[in-house]
Structure 1
Amino acid sequence: MPLPNDEKLIALSEALIEKFQAIFGAYPGIRPAHAKGILLKGEFTPAAGASTLSRAPHFASASTPVTVRFSNSTGVPLIPDNDPNANPRGIAVRFHLGERVHTDIVAHSTDGFPTHTGEEFLEFLQAIAASAPGTPSPTPVEAFVGSHPAALAFVQTPKPAPVSFATEGYFGVTAMEFLNAEGASQFIRYQISPEAGLDHLNDEATKAKEANYLFDEIATRVKSAPIAFKVKAQLAGVAEVVDDATIHWAADSKIVDLGSITLTSLVEDDAAEQKHTIFDPIPRVDGIEPSNDPLLELRAAIYLISGRRRRSA
């Protein structure tokens, strides 16, 4: 995909990448965020009614190959899995629609996002960078979250460590617009739910875990049995805000089953594939359009810029 022809957007993307690296360190060939990850592969099977919501090809095909990346937060490639900063966990799903044709879902394990715009997110990162241990209170990050209710809510949302990547639930950060064969429109947010059920650790059990427990566990688990997730769509009501990732939709929103992901093996040559693969938060497929959320174009630019640097490292 080409870089957007928007100098301001590119400059903001580069500033965010630089701030990530200032906070976490620069690691050539490694992602600046969600640096520690693992790739698995399998297939997606659509639910019977998925194609009535969207005419996207993977909702009409019998099955579609997928690659899934699970990850920890931060740009630290060796962050211990039991470090609280490793939350929220990430998941990225690539649907392989044909030769060099794909669409992706990028999600994480906390429902929501701390800021509405990229400029606000850069301010948030700058505040974090200026709040090293020993900084007098109120620190810059305390001041930021104190004046940004959405960021405070995100920070205060409980983020327990999962027993497994396969027992965690994941949420699409931004809304998408589904279009069906008749052209009917429906805004949705993705949810990815584990068939094994949600299962988390308390603080004491988390501290007792090994530094690589999640990655060791998922590698062992997939070798013994398939790992399954449900892909769901939370449907926006007519009054919902669809261009602001900080705003939650109604708790009683309708949830529709889109299909199942079944993971059956690890990806061969994981390190090379992780260096090469650039996930895209913009769907770029007929039947699914991005919303006007300002985070989408920014995240796509960040992923592409950092991905190209990663490939050339």
Structure 2
Amino acid sequence: MATSSNFFIHTFLISSLTFFPLSPSLADDDTDKPVVEQLVDTLSTIAGPHPGIRKNHAKGIVVLGEFTPSAEASSVSSAEHLQSASTPVTIRFSNTTGIPDIADTNPSSFPKGIAIRFQLADNSYTDIVSISVNRFPVATPEDFLGLLNAVAASGPDTPAPKPITQFLASHPAAKTFVEIEKPAPVSFATQPFYGVNAFKFINKEGEVNYGRYQIIPVNGPEYLTDEQRAAAGNNYLFEELPKRLKQNKAEFILALQLAEKGDEVNDPTMVWPETRQLVKLGTLTIESIDPNGEQFAKQTMFNPLALTDGIEASKDPILLARPSAYAISYGRRLSGQ
């Protein structure tokens, strides 16, 4: 593997595989730590010292809007926000990495992230946390750590075959993830997002379906050309969105791709066929920038397992481990670490 290719894989994997970073050094003896704590330590090491800042997805922008459920949403779940009334939402778009000033066009800022908080009537909430890639590279936190350790051991002077070459050769899903195209969106409002983890949905009749979220711009995706990307400013996404919202609202379709019998629901590397039924759950309408967004983001931990009646977690080990890592990062952020 050429040095430039190895560098790309290193930066892209470490920054964009959002949920599980590698240990700071292969020589460090931190194996007694829980995996999730090692992961947060590593994000801090990779990004450098940024006290009080998110350890991943540090650069973000918060917007306000509402979610209006579709007529068919209640057929798949009895969840409160999927019934007839509209629900206020707070949404945070973000770049990957713990670097708060990373350029929007930097390969290490991909995939982009979206976190959605639905404010329910009883002052509780439920969250969706998704990324702009419709897959994950590995099926377990341990394999993810193995992948990143292989990357860390594959420096320019490492003789061939490098550990990362061997890992990708034996893990085709990771190889696919590394090589997938990552176009730059015209706007956060033109970027599709995907839930890589499946959830269990139960309707009022007790019928069960497993599904994964898709969050698709109403007018379809729009991406920059290579020339436009090269010319774009470091903060073009964060400058474009406020201007857009002053002119018009932005809309996304929140959809649910339903699994069929035989589809793997506990492995985020397994992308279901596009022929699977897609149920429109409703419309997300973004109305304005949150004037208190920075404070909200600092004080808020989005949690994919903050669920409400009618939606339950699958047994996906990646999904089940995410909130623990988030909580460690959140605690450090509040304490100024």
Bin for the TM-score computed over the shorter chain = over 0.9
Distance 1:141 1:217 in 2: 37
Please state if 1:269 is matched with 2:292: yes
Q: For 1:135 and 1:84, locate their aligned partners in 2 and report how far apart those are by CA, in whole Å.
A: 24
Paired AA for residue 314 in structure 2: S
Residue number among 200, 222, 229 corresponding to 1:177 in the alignment: 200
Find out whether 1:81 has 2:108 as its counterpart: no
Could you tell me how far apart the structure 2 residues matched to 1:112 and 1:307 are?
25
Partner of 1:98, secondary structure, is coil
Contact map agreement 1:280 1:300 (CA 8 A) in 2 = yes
For residues 201-249 of structure 1, what are the alpha-carbon distances to aligned partners after superposition, in whole Å with 9 as ceiling and x for unaligned?
Answer: 2323211100000110012111221111000000100110100000011
The normalised TM-score by structure 1 is 0.93
Alignment check: 8 A CA contact 2:128 2:304 kept: yes
Match of 1:49 in 2: 72
User: Superposition RMSD on alpha carbons, in Å?
Assistant: 1.8
1:36 aligns with 2:59: yes
Q: Matches of 1:219 and 1:311 in 2, distance apart?
A: 27
Aligned to 1:305: 328
Q: 1:273 to 1:137 in 2, by over 3 A?
A: farther
Distance 1:131 1:75 in 2: 23
Per-residue CA deviations over 1:143-168 (Å, capped at 9, x if unaligned) read 32222111101111111111111111
CA distance in 1, matches of 2:77, 2:317: 23
Asked whether the equivalents of residues 44 and 64 of structure 1 are also in contact (C-alpha less than 8 Å), the reply is yes
Question: What corresponds to 2:12 in structure 1?
Answer: none
Which runs of no fewer than 5 residues in structure 1 stay unpaired?
1-7
Cα distance change, pair 133–71 in 1 and its aligned pair in 2 (3 A): farther
Q: Which residue of 2 aligns with 1:197?
A: 220
1:97 aligns with 2:120: yes
- 1:7-38, Cα deviation, whole Å (9 max, x unpaired): x9981110111122222224222222222111
Q: Give the conservation status (yes or no) of the 8 Å contact 2:62–2:294.
A: no
Q: CA deviation at 1:43?
A: 0.3
Tell me if structure 2 keeps the 8 A contact 1:84–1:161.
no
- CA distance, structure 1, for counterparts of residue 32 and residue 289 of structure 2: 36
Hey, what does 1:293 align to over in structure 2? 316
In the alignment, what sits opposite 2:229?
A: 206
Percentage of pairs with the same residue? 46
Partner Cα distance (1:183, 1:170) in 2:
29
CA displacement 1:46-76 (0-9 Å, x = unmatched)? 0001011100000114100001111112222
Alpha carbons 1:283, 1:290 under 8 Å: kept: no
The farther-off stretch of 284-293 and 201-210 is: 201-210
For residues 162 and 178 of structure 1, the distance between their equivalents in structure 2, rounded to whole angstroms, comes to 31
Alignment of 1:142-291 (within 5 A): 142-291=165-314
Does the 8 Å CA contact 1:92/1:107 hold for their aligned counterparts? yes
Is the 8 Å Cα contact of residues 96 and 110 (structure 2) preserved in structure 1? yes
The answer (yes or no) to whether the contact 1:9–1:298 under 8 Å persists in 2 is no
Code of the aligned partner of 1:77: P
Scaled by the length of structure 2, what TM-score is found? 0.86
Supply the distance in 1 between the matched residues of 2:284 and 2:87 (Cα, whole angstroms).
9
Higher mean displacement: 131-140 or 44-53: 131-140
Asked whether the 8 Å contact 2:93–2:113 carries over to 1, the reply is yes
- Which whole-Å CA distance do the structure 2 matches of 1:98 and 1:119 have between them? 39
Identify which range, 292-301 or 94-103, moves more after superposition: 94-103
Distance 1:259 1:62 in 2: 11
CA distance in 2, matches of 1:273, 1:247: 34
Tell me whether 1:66 sits opposite 2:89 in the alignment.
yes
Distance 1:179 1:24, change over 3 A: same
Task: Tell me, in whole angstroms, the C-alpha distance in 2 between the residues paired with 1:10 and 1:192.
Answer: 35
Q: Is the 8 A contact 1:283 1:289 kept in 2?
A: no
Q: Quickly say closer, same or farther: Cα 1:137–1:73, change in 2 above 3 A.
A: farther
SS in 1 for 2:327: helix
Residues 17 and 302, structure 1, Cα contact 8 Å, conserved in 2: yes
Residues 1:309 and 1:98: Cα distance change in structure 2 (over 3 Å): farther
Q: Do residues 27 (structure 1) and 54 (structure 2) align?
A: no
Distance 1:200 1:141 in 2: 30
Question: Whole-Å Cα distance in 1 between the matches of residues 193 and 44 of structure 2?
Answer: 25
Question: Which sections of structure 2, spanning at least 5 residues, go unmatched?
Answer: 1-30
Structure 2 residue identity aligned to 1:238: K
User: Aligned pair in 2 of structure 1 residues 197, 311: CA closer, same or farther (>3 Å)?
Assistant: same
Aligned to 1:5: none
